[in-house]
Amino acid sequence: MSALKRLVCVQCPLGCKISVELSDTNRILSIVGNRCPRGEEYARDELENPKRVLTTSVRVLNGEYPLVSVKTNKPVPKSLIPELMKTIRNLKVEAPIECGSVLVEDVLGTGADLVATRTVRRAKG
């Protein structure tokens, strides 16, 4: 017996509705509904190794704000997000921090850098 999984491709604004037929052992039997090969790749990744851009915040020392918002500069495997969050929760960075600066390179060997998404100046006084 097979099952049908429906996805919306987010690789371009067309948002194709993709149907993936899975075997009872979760093997992909067919992919339909994508208008280009990127959709097939997206569907395979989404089912076999889903990835997301991680957005969160990091503690700041001596800054005008106690936290700086951050994100990974590329999607990381969803399965690694709990471990990444554990690492990020233990991070502290010293102000000043420029928006766009890399706070951690290749975070947990994912190939993605952790980047500040706002500027935090040094606290006065």
What does the binding site for ligand SF4 look like in residue numbers (CB under 6 A)? 9, 11-12, 14-16, 34-36, 38-39
Shortest approach of ligand SF4 to residue 32 CB, angstroms?
11
Shortest approach of ligand SF4 to residue 43 CB, angstroms?
9
Give the tokens for residue 42.
């997206």
Shortest approach of ligand SF4 to residue 76 CB, angstroms?
21
Residue nearest to ligand SF4 (CB): 39
Q: Which residue has the tokens 């233990």?
A: 90
| Choice between 38 and 121, CB closer to ligand SF4 | 38
| Choice between 34 and 110, CB closer to ligand SF4 | 34
Shortest approach of ligand SF4 to residue 44 CB, angstroms?
12
Q: Which residue has the tokens 């390179």?
A: 105
Cis peptide bond prior to 96, omega within 30° of 0: yes
Give the tokens for residue 95.
């102000």
b (16+ CB within 10 A) / e for 102-111: ebbeebbebe
